Structure 1
């Protein structure tokens, strides 16, 4: 008998292996289709030709999610990321955040740190955009944690660029410098390995960022060195190259090297006329104009600043207008043309107020008042001097507040030093007193020690006895718990084996029959052989699914069973469930109707819900009249609860039988089987309830979520 069982087990294993090979071939074909669809989505993002089509990307990403199997977490993450990118590029920020978060969740299931980092990079910026500062900080902390343990170049590059930009914008230049240097280091490793142009351009961008940090730290020589270094890496990235030229102009001017600045200005001007990005050129022209103004070369300053004014009209950037108007006003004031100076100061003021530059606003009011006084506009000059005083007082107040804080800190430090001196004197006096008391303590201590030893021995004997009693009591309690657990385990095991022996007999017998027929297929046509093979595969799958149901149910009977809530497409769930039972539906010539209009999505455990639906649909098929209709519906009832229902036309079930099915806790017959018991147990895990209604026309089974 034992040999027959072992042989049968090996035979079933071989059937499962063959079935697994067939399923593996199907998976390879599916992965190829998903890779091709991912490439198509990249193309809609403009990779590599730069021609974006974000509305089409959204549609393609949704289609990709639908075609991806629920358990393929990697491609679920990829297509949700594409969908988020489409929404972000069409300014639907809330939807973008939602799908980036879903992409991150699937990436975590796929254990893909690179996909997690990609999602976190986008989420950190979008959280800041929405002023969700706590979430933004959490995203960056998670990036730091991943980067600290995973040294993959792609992960290090992604984490360090996000953190570098954040620290730079926050004015934390030392930390930003550290992150950008790490960013450049890993980019160079990636470039040495793959030799791709994108990594090379990004190295140049990294050098630009480091140069700008040194500019903010007033370290002109170091910033100049990094700007020069960036040029050699930016040959294939024109916008970055133009930024480098502008930064070189600024650096040379700050070092009073005007001739070198003019060399790069000429190169920048030629490049901008081709690219059309006049904002960068305006910045450089304003810097040159101010240099000429400071050196008294006013004609040259006027010429280049008027050219900058025309270019600002092309760029249409407010900051460009502000920079040019302010520089021209200063030039005309120095030339003595106070009327023009007043005109341009008045044009620059609203823009300065818009950008909230208090120091610049105060200077503008002072210069405007100076020009108005020369034009004998005393009232206007007086009013503007008052406004100058107001902004100056505000700046002085901020400065005084800062000085007061520093003075208070110094005062507190002096007070602490005085307290330390007093405490040292007190300690010296106490040490002398302690020496005098030490001899007395030794005498008393000897007597106390003898008493303490005796008391300790008595106390130890008492504590040991108390510990022994407590330990014995705890062991008895543990033994009671273990006995209860053993009794429960034996009951569960007995119930499980009873169910397995009763309900697996039929599918295994069916599979055995199909295999016996397989041995004598020589008399069949090729079409009949194919049909038979399909039936064999379907039967194998059915057996696997039954075993899976039993394993999942048995697991649910044990402790530490966890529910995994997912975002479920109801139409996809219905289609997947129906496809598993398509052969039985076809045999009974049943018509199928599905309606998910009122509930298209559901947050639940997809694996458990699939098992529940498959069992209920199996029962509906078995009890339906041939040629009738099956209906699968998802919706929201009158009380606002979400529900799923399966309806079939068959024999009416009496109310007492329905009550027995819903309230019974054991297997009563083959008609009820283990399926309904599993369904009820699993629905408890989902916080859902099962209900059955039946009349002469239709029987409906419903799942209602609390």
Structure 2
């Protein structure tokens, strides 16, 4: 079975290559001496600190100087240098085997590169993050960051970094057994490396293509590519990858069942490792040869290489730490070529970006505030319009209800006021019948005269009611004028009720002060008197008495309609003038009533700025007292109304 950690060794040749080539302790030492002599220029200090961290071969020293760089950049609020400082810290922690701290620093580097809008730096941080996730075995997240970096490098036309990212991502696809996709990535990286004539990158691309061919069973093509990669690596003096390629090829051919090829590659890996003094590779090659000889039945050779494996394993102190170091080395790109840009230009560009961003944010805030203001104003206007429409609808509804109530009240007035004259006609009809039986022609003639007068009065009553119906517009009309109380009573009402009184043998009397002139609506005044006199006659027994008396009382006229009839109980007195309390009742001779008359008396008294009250005892009689304003010649009639 192919062991996955071999993949990490393979990646390391590319990912660390430019970094390892860049690491030069002599350069680092010279830069440390230069830094010690610097006194005042923070910009120059940050540049030197970055170079020291970049070139230093000791991860602890690289961590020290990258930390100083971060501190200076934080004090200067310089996002670009913060990006560079954190990425160097991440590399140092990775070399030390602290993947958690390394990942934290890489994310910080990514954040500051984004703030500085430094896209190459963004992609570089994403590549570094992908490498850590790859070592941790989180392939899905590693794929995501690798592909994000590739997209940026394509947009920025950075050929070397794009080729490195394609090679790393292709190897991740190969580890995931997506061999066709891996092959596409490797082939593109080879083309890009060839464009910039980057030989070590070409070698790694060829080697990885060879590994894919081997896993696909295309042995001839696999061997051809690995041989080409090996020739380039030998020319460059980089033989460590050759040892790793060979052990990996041994695993592949072992799985294919080709033990001769497997032994050939394992032996060459062992020989190169011995020659270069690579203990880890010597250990792994020894184990591989032992396993192959054991499977081939050559137990003597298997025992020999097993002994060598154990010896090399025991000679390596802290094997797990060295293993982590090997894994970490596999994550660097072929080239970590850092493009140094003039610091002053970067600062100026950063300031311009910040300034433009602030202006854009301010404009957006102003626009948002304006939109919110307009929306709020429109909402207020809409609410106001709706409120006004609601009030208007409510007013129209109330007006319609008032009109409907007035209509109902008006028809009630008509029916009630017609009831009195009709009752008078009934009384006249009874007298006519009596005079005919007694053959009293003089009486008939007299009755005829009264009958004609009653008809005229009823006609006038109907005309008045019809006039009200035509002129009223939602309310009972009120047109005050000078009214002679005695004239209204004797000309329009006395003759109407005298026959009703005679029919019940009731004595109807009246007494008015001279020149008693009211300021009132004549129609409503007649309605008040008609109803009170009609009720008094209706609820008085035969041979009873009804009187109408009027006198002045200051600025008011005191009008009293008194009878000695059945009276009103205390319970009925308490609700006598209740609104809409229309209860049917019958007079002493069975006369019908709707209970509307007294309500009309009450309403019309108030309409004429007067009052009404009642005094009554059961079986003794009732007195209704109406007070209405007298006409004042010295008062403006308009204001009096």
TM range, smaller chain: 0.3 to 0.5
| TM-score, L = length of structure 1 | 0.37
Which has the bigger relative contact order, CA under 8 A and spacing at least 6? 2
| TM-score, L = length of structure 2 | 0.40
Structure ranking higher in helix proportion:
1
